[in-house]
Structure 1
Amino acid sequence: MKEQTGFDVAIAGAGASGLAAAVTAAGAGARVLLMERMDRVGKKILATGNGRCNLTNLEISARHYHTRDRAALAEMLAQMPAQKTLSFFEGLGLLCSMPEDGKIYPYCFQASMVLDCLLAAIRRRRVCTALKFDVAAVEPRGRDFAVLSVDGRCVTARCVILAGGGLAAPKLGGTGGLYQVARDLGHTVTPLYPCLVPIKCKNAFAGGLKGIRVRARGVLTCAGRRLGEQTGEWLFTDYGLSGIPALQLSCLLWKLDAPYEIQIDFFPDWKPERLAALLDARRGICETLEEWLLGTVPKRVGYAVMKSVGLAPLSRPVAGVDATQTAALVRALKGWTFEVTGPLSWEQAQTTGGGVPLSEIDPETCMSRRRRGLFLTGELLDAAGNCGGYNLHWAWNTGILAGQAAVQMARRDRID
């Protein structure tokens, strides 16, 4: 077995969090080894933000995240203002944009430039890298740790940072292998589920709507209880619903033994009475059902909604629609119900829900409360963000916290 020794910090996972930790620790003078299971580092970064890399968001708060420990999350986020992320990247030479919607991107809107700046930083700071290093175990050895790979390599370091990603996007390297390593070191892992993923639905009337986008509000309920809502551009698909609002609500679908439904409101700014009055007024200018909703919602959406309440065929005269049927149409336009059957799959997910509970790490350093010198960051932790740069913000900043604390601990131990 070939063994590499003498590292202050060994980092398992060379994604966003691991790279931020490596840059931070090496910048403070630590001897750092960055281990990556894939044949290159930062592969997932290149896919973020549709290749543009939404670095962070000016509006950082716990309400944009999903976790079982909101108090601990809020405490950690208080140390992670967006300006901290901006300062980190400005220190690497990356120029950032400042758009009005709060989403921060590299000025060139290229994820590859973000990765290039990170790679240049680890080269300048003499970070050692070990590619195709699939971590099998992390074993305490006195005050140090031994990191063992599947192919028999061994690395020893004073501190270890577990920065591997979760189960999302396996084609980009998501295997979740470090969850078991965390368990072996005494941590628990809450149930894992795909987040920011399209939603599969059962709706016999939506099959012909594939590819149609519509601005609407969607309300997610579980056994009649309202869980959340999202307004924006929804996308109908052959399997159900997509678009940013659907991705956001998918983060609430972690208990799949319960009946979930999504009600789509095509007129979120209108009261039912106003919509009913509009339909009544259009009787005077529309002869058939085919014309009744023309100019209000996408044509095929209008046809499908009418069909779902028994208004067919399209050649039927509007004058023959009674008050009861009109009221049913208003209810459908204000709350077209989709029965949710689950998230699409891990392959389409952008991040992982669940993970190591935040109560098991120090909120100021990300160090394990179970093993001194062990740190956990990013997607391994029970914190999943909404769309808008929140997951990358979490990854960068937990990596920075861990990198700072790990090098300080390694220095203290050398003195002792």
Structure 2
Amino acid sequence: MEQAAVAIVGGGASGLAAAIAAARLGAGPVAVLEKQDRVGKKLLATGNGRCNLENRDSDAACHYHTADGSTLRRMLEQIPSAQVLRFFEKGGLLWSEGAEGRVYPSGNQAAIVLDTLRLEALGRGVQELCGFAVESIRPAKGGWLLEGGGKALLARRVVLACGGMAAPKLGGGEDGYRLARQLGHTVTKLYPCLAALRCRADGLAALKGVRAVCGVRLLARGKELASETGEVQFTEYGLSGIPAMQLSSRLPAGGCEAEVDVFPALDRSRLTAMLHQRRKSGLYPTLESLLTGLLHKKLAVYLLKAANIGPLGLPPSRLRPADIDALAGLLKGWRLPVTGTAGGWDGAQVTGGGVPLAEVEPDSFASRCAKGVYLTGELLDAVGDCGGFNLHWAFGSGIAAGRAAAQSLTKPGRV
């Protein structure tokens, strides 16, 4: 039977960080158990292949969503952005900071990050045991017995870094949650996050591929839940782009609407005045031409039809002032019923929900249900915004757990 001082279940971002952190402190042997044929598959797909590995504003709890904000803040204090960047610098990775605090490897390739992590891990004696799908975890003399697919490993300490349900083609699944439940943990409802929004409206296929900077508010029973502004990509099923993906983490159970403002830089009164001026100018021969120069033509035509203020060939001079007011209202507040996220787990980048934060120690990520076990990353009930926040959570929690696991072997009383 294989044996390890520290076993990491999952060879993704969090798992590799945990393995290196433990190995740096002399814990050995350290083993990474990965169900796929290689480690780091999902990491290669992050940041559109560039790997947005960190954000300089990752310490701010406002960029994360969880049912336990107070515990989350304590956890983030243990894993500041500067600490994660020092971790990479020590491993030999050069990085650069881009817009909005986003940090990328200097070579702008996710493969560079994975290669750097694997090189250090293997150099420090970390074993990669690929094709080892852990199906059960149970206490055994001297630690924990991990079994699956006819394989077994005995470890003194275990870090569960299995990831979540998102992107099943890259290894996402329920394995980690099943193992957590075996240890006595609870798991809150899981839902896809950082995904496009599926909306209900006639003729959306006409807007497929159109991009526009918009403000988007998420409304439930008229109350604003959250809002985002940025480039929206319209699809045949609804809204995509960063604003939509950010809002996907905030969808309520009882249904909601997305209110789209296609002129976020103009207040309603200024937009209304501009449209009235165009109506009177005589420069725009038809209703269809009224928004020329202001919007993508496909989007303009779609919204003019949706406003239902007259046929597209109607001269604007024949519109009533109330018609212009109604059009301005639609352009500043186009409401689309949201029916969920698009693509299910395949269309999601991360998982919402998970093991409640109160069930792990905030300083070490140690399980409060099973001594000697640690939980990290996407397994926990915390999801970050786009922009490197989820990878910060993955790397940071992995580093903290790996260190704590190693220290608990050499310093009595540590968990």
TM-score by length of 1: 0.96
Match of 1:173 in 2: 171
Q: 2:14 aligns with which of 12, 17, 20?
A: 17
CA distance in 1, matches of 2:110, 2:176: 25
SS in 2 for 1:227: strand
SS in 1 for 2:180: helix
Q: 1:265 aligns with which of 253, 261, 266?
A: 261
SS in 2 for 1:168: coil
- CA shift, 1:363, in A, is 0.5
Taking structure 1 as reference, are residues 413 and 130 closer, same or farther at Cα in structure 2, changes over 3 Å only? farther
- 1:279 equivalent to 2:278? Answer no
Kindly provide the CA deviation profile for residues 156-209 of structure 1, in whole angstroms up to 9, marking residues without a partner as x.
Answer: 111110000100000100012110110110100010000000110001143311
Kindly provide the CA deviation profile for residues 286-325 of structure 1, in whole angstroms up to 9, marking residues without a partner as x.
Answer: 1210111111111111111111121342111101111221
Kindly provide the CA deviation profile for residues 366-391 of structure 1, in whole angstroms up to 9, marking residues without a partner as x.
Answer: 00011110100000000111110000
CA distance in 2, matches of 1:261, 1:63: 23
CA distance in 2, matches of 1:221, 1:414: 49
Match of 2:407 in 1: 408
Match of 2:131 in 1: 132
Match of 1:69 in 2: 68
Unaligned runs of 5+ in 1: none
Q: How does 1:11-160 map to 2 (within 5 A)?
A: 11-31=8-28, 32-60=30-58, 61-149=60-148, 151-160=149-158
Q: 2:333 corresponds to which letter in structure 1?
A: G
CA distance in 1, matches of 2:100, 2:189: 33
- CA shift, 1:269, in A, is 2.6
CA distance in 2, matches of 1:269, 1:100: 20
CA distance in 2, matches of 1:307, 1:4: 67
Q: How does 1:181-330 map to 2 (within 5 A)?
A: 181-253=179-251, 255-256=252-253, 258-283=254-279, 284=281, 285-330=283-328
SS in 2 for 1:97: strand
SS in 1 for 2:202: coil
- 1:392 equivalent to 2:379? Answer no
Residue identity over aligned pairs, in percent, reads 46
CA distance in 2, matches of 1:277, 1:414: 70
CA distance in 2, matches of 1:112, 1:104: 15
Unaligned runs of 5+ in 2: none
Q: 1:259 corresponds to which letter in structure 2?
A: G
CA distance in 2, matches of 1:95, 1:214: 34
Whether contact under 8 Å (1:16, 1:396) holds in the other structure is yes
Q: 2:204 corresponds to which letter in structure 1?
A: A
Kindly provide the CA deviation profile for residues 59-110 of structure 1, in whole angstroms up to 9, marking residues without a partner as x.
Answer: 1211111110011111111122211111011111110112243100000101
CA distance in 1, matches of 2:99, 2:190: 34
Whether contact under 8 Å (1:48, 1:54) holds in the other structure is yes
Q: 1:270 corresponds to which letter in structure 2?
A: L
- CA shift, 1:222, in A, is 1.4
- CA shift, 1:332, in A, is 0.3
SS in 1 for 2:294: coil
- CA shift, 1:273, in A, is 1.4
CA distance in 2, matches of 1:73, 1:182: 19
Kindly provide the CA deviation profile for residues 41-68 of structure 1, in whole angstroms up to 9, marking residues without a partner as x.
Answer: 0111100000000010011211111110
Deviates more, 1:50-59 or 1:317-326: 317-326
Taking structure 1 as reference, are residues 414 and 8 closer, same or farther at Cα in structure 2, changes over 3 Å only? farther
Q: 1:338 aligns with which of 336, 339, 363?
A: 336
Whether contact under 8 Å (1:205, 1:308) holds in the other structure is no
- CA shift, 1:275, in A, is 1.1
CA distance in 1, matches of 2:169, 2:264: 38
Instruction: Give aligned pairs, total.
Output: 409
Q: 2:65 corresponds to which letter in structure 1?
A: H
CA distance in 1, matches of 2:337, 2:100: 32
Q: 1:333 corresponds to which letter in structure 2?
A: L
Whether contact under 8 Å (1:65, 1:385) holds in the other structure is yes
CA distance in 2, matches of 1:105, 1:269: 30
